[in-house]
């Protein structure tokens, strides 16, 4: 009788790495993560009109998600961003 293969506890457990409201910073972050071979997913959420004052007038929030196992590597890669771009992303600390 064969045993069922056990899967890792972290399969399908994506966490939010960072968020930004700036499209240019989002594209630069995407390019950097792709160059460094970090697997991620990028989505955006629309901000309702009456809540835009809390996002400084931005109409979209770009969200980068990664697997929990890749978190520390991705944080080191984000440190390679330029200072002005790094200051415009909101890092999620776990």
Q: The pTM is what? A: 0.82
pLDDT of residue 1: 62
Residue 13 binned pLDDT confidence (cut-offs 50, 70, 90): confident
Q: How confident is the model at residue 11 (pLDDT cuts 50, 70, 90)?
A: low
H or E element, residue 1? none
CATH of domain 14-91: 3.30.70
Parallel, antiparallel, or unpaired: how do β-strands 14-20 and 41-46 relate? unpaired
pLDDT surpassing 80 at residue 93: yes
Among residues 27, 65, 62, the alpha carbon closest in space to that of 44 is found at 62
Residues of the chain above pLDDT 70, percent: 90
| pLDDT tens-digit map of 29-62 | 999 999 999 999 999 999 999 999 988 899 999 9
Q: How is residue 12 annotated by DSSP? A: T
Map out the domains of the chain as residue ranges. Answer: 14-91
pLDDT of amino acid 3:
73
């Amino acid at each position: 009788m064969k045993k069922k293969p056990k899967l890792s506890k972290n399969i399908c457990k994506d966490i939010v790495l960072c968020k930004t409201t700036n499209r240019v910073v989002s594209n630069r972050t995407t390019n950097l993560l792709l160059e460094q071979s970090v697997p991620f997913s990028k989505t955006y959420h629309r901000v309702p009109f009456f809540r835009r004052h809390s996002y400084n007038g931005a109409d979209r929030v770009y969200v980068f998600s990664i697997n929990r196992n890749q978190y520390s590597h991705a944080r080191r890669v984000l440190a390679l961003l330029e200072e002005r771009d790094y200051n415009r992303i909101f890092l999620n600390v776990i």
